[in-house]
Structure 1
């Protein structure tokens, strides 16, 4: 379920949404942080999540932070997480539902961050909220749709979720609320997204 054995070309063919998201991550990092293109730097300033500016009507900042990252390690970590945990869900849900799950969970994380302190001049960015939304969908399957997972996958998912939540509170410079509300958003989205899904996607 989480082992990637495809060739690069097969990965692009089977998981086009994930491949596109990762390409966006890397392209934006190159333009903004490596090449420091003036228009790209301006995009980053306009796209970073900021509670105070959101409260002033810049609501696009609830979406744009999902695709922005603070440096190479941040970009690679979230992209690698998406490569590991995204393909099974893209295959199961299909392109449209996967896009909705990813974006809405990421937005839920950013809304939670904003709602905690709307007036704070607090900035945040990264795809972690959306990725924790994927964890939320897996968590829902683990407890409410066990038939969709084999035993090994269930054990792996349980460990990953526990470790992810623990590290959320232990690592510095983490948007804790973004992770938690993204996770909750994934759980909330899971029932309608999985309603017509039957076992057999990972055999």
Structure 2
């Protein structure tokens, strides 16, 4: 569910919404940091509660796509690549993007009403925690859609994420919490008609002998190796984000 072994071409073809979202993250990051009119784009799109109160309602949406720090954009984009594909397949493209944007907007609305009116904010973290909220609902109430191993992985990463939320001094706690809560709350509605991710995957087996007695053992070993790579990658990004204090 969370192990990515596609080529760039197959990933782009199978998960177009995730691909577009990550591309928007990276393009806007490069624009606001290095290209002409970047500061104008940042100023126009950044979350600002006073500006929202004065009618800039688009600022409830635009911060979801903006990142100003390298670790910030890499961590959120990497998280989206890991956690998004299974849900894009399970929900379908339209329901997935609607869910993603809705949880991100709810997180920003919560910050508008409960957060510091003089603090600006940006980042996709609220929407990503919305995805984790949906996974949390799957683990608790829809075990038919997620296996035990992946459920344990989700809960471990969720716990790490929540600990980071409260120990890091530069995190929008309200956006994380309300993204998670909204994701879990909206999950029953969006999961209507959903099927397990493994039932929808289609891939071609590599060329090998039909009666290879070690076939499944080899696949299990390869799966474990890939899992270790994923965990190492997550650990490095999490550590980098903690040291940078900008996740």
Q: TM-score, normalised by structure 2?
A: 0.78
The aligned residue for residue 104 of structure 2 is 106
The aligned residue for residue 81 of structure 1 is 79
Deviations 1:41-68 (A, max 9, x none): 2121011001111111111100000000
Q: Is the 8 A contact 2:32 2:68 kept in 1?
A: no
Q: Return the alpha-carbon distance in structure 2 between the equivalents of residues 164 and 71 of structure 1.
A: 18
The aligned residue for residue 205 of structure 2 is none
**Consecutive unaligned residues in structure 1, runs of 5 or more:** none
Structure of larger gyration radius: 2
Q: Return the alpha-carbon distance in structure 2 between the equivalents of residues 31 and 151 of structure 1.
A: 42
Q: SS where residue 146 of structure 1 aligns?
A: coil
Q: Does 1:202 align with 2:186?
A: no
The aligned residue for residue 39 of structure 2 is 41
Q: SS where residue 96 of structure 1 aligns?
A: helix
The aligned residue for residue 237 of structure 2 is none
Q: SS where residue 148 of structure 1 aligns?
A: coil
The aligned residue for residue 16 of structure 2 is 16
Give the deviation of 1:160 after TM superposition. 1.1
The aligned residue for residue 121 of structure 2 is 124
Q: Return the alpha-carbon distance in structure 2 between the equivalents of residues 74 and 198 of structure 1.
A: 32
Q: Is the 8 A contact 2:18 2:80 kept in 1?
A: yes
Q: TM-score, normalised by structure 1?
A: 0.95
Q: Is the 8 A contact 1:52 1:122 kept in 2?
A: no
Q: Return the alpha-carbon distance in structure 2 between the equivalents of residues 51 and 5 of structure 1.
A: 41
Q: More displaced, 60-69 or 155-164?
A: 155-164
Q: Return the alpha-carbon distance in structure 1 between the equivalents of residues 12 and 115 of structure 2.
A: 40
The aligned residue for residue 181 of structure 2 is 184
Q: Return the alpha-carbon distance in structure 2 between the equivalents of residues 30 and 130 of structure 1.
A: 21
Alignment: residue pair count: 199
Q: More displaced, 11-20 or 51-60?
A: 51-60
Indicate which of 59, 63, 70 corresponds to 1:61: 59
